[in-house]
Amino acid sequence: MIAIIDYGRGNLGSVEKAFRRIGMPASITQDPKSVDEADAVVLPGDGAFHDAMSNLDRLGLTGALRRALDGSRPFLGICLGYQLLFTTSEEFGEGRGLDVVPGAVRRLPAGRKIPHMGWNRVEHAGDLRLFDGIPSGAHFYFVHSYYPVVAGAVSTALTEGGLKQERVAPHARSDALGARSDASGARSGLRAAWCDYGVKFAAAIEVGRIHATQFHPEKSQRWGLRMLENFAAVVKSGR
């Protein structure tokens, strides 16, 4: 069973229905015990970053959420549920996130319509399990005004779409993420897919069993359902 954490921040019904559509049992819950007992955990959401963190604390869900992020089970963060994984956010003043992925959440730069709402291309290099069978450049549905910046990212190879792929640099945290140093000293283990909306940003990441997307798979029709099927396959395989 997949536990969908309900902390008062939207999209719950559409996420549960999408999993039901692909034949994967999922349950919306505010019960920390149910989160602890689930085979996998999904953290969806939209709205304000700091309000979300406060709600998680108020409902007593922060501890169970941190245990779900210890790398022992598959985890999927969606939209705000992705941003909460980062160290800080500048939305309505600097505030702390869960600090599972080192980095900050910043406001999209001026020059494009904000919020970024609608369909956009996501480029990837074929190395994220959520994108199995999904072509680089496929379109997904976004609704957001802020975007994540991975701390200490350094440029490496080009992806299929010509965007520079990045990974976490040596000083970034690794502990629960299961990252390891390669011969160059850079952290391997964090993989990303990329979108460009006035700035190139990590539209999706994979770190061990932690997966997260800035876009909404449950609203992204064909490729979104394929992505949820891929996550369900990860859950069933126990990897």
- The two tokens of residue 68 are 């779900």
218 is catalytic: yes
Residue 13 makes CB contacts below 8 A (sequence gap 6+) with 28
**Tally of CB atoms within 10 A around 18:** 22
DSSP 8-state code for residue 236 = H
Please answer whether residues 64 and 55 qualify as being in contact, where contact means their C-beta atoms are separated by less than 8 angstroms: no
Compute the C-alpha angle 49/205/239, nearest 5°. 115
Compute the C-alpha angle 222/226/227, nearest 5°. 120
**Tally of CB atoms within 10 A around 107:** 12
Please answer whether residues 212 and 144 qualify as being in contact, where contact means their C-beta atoms are separated by less than 8 angstroms: no
195 is catalytic: no
Residue 167 makes CB contacts below 8 A (sequence gap 6+) with 153, 154, 156, 186, 187, 188, 189, 190, 191, 192
Which is the catalytic residue, given 123, 166, 218, 229? 218
Which is the catalytic residue, given 16, 79, 123, 144? 79
216 is catalytic: yes
Name the one residue in this structure whose structure tokens are 């034949």: 23
Please answer whether residues 98 and 61 qualify as being in contact, where contact means their C-beta atoms are separated by less than 8 angstroms: no
Which is the catalytic residue, given 124, 144, 211, 216? 216
Write out the catalytic residue numbers.
Answer: 79, 216, 218
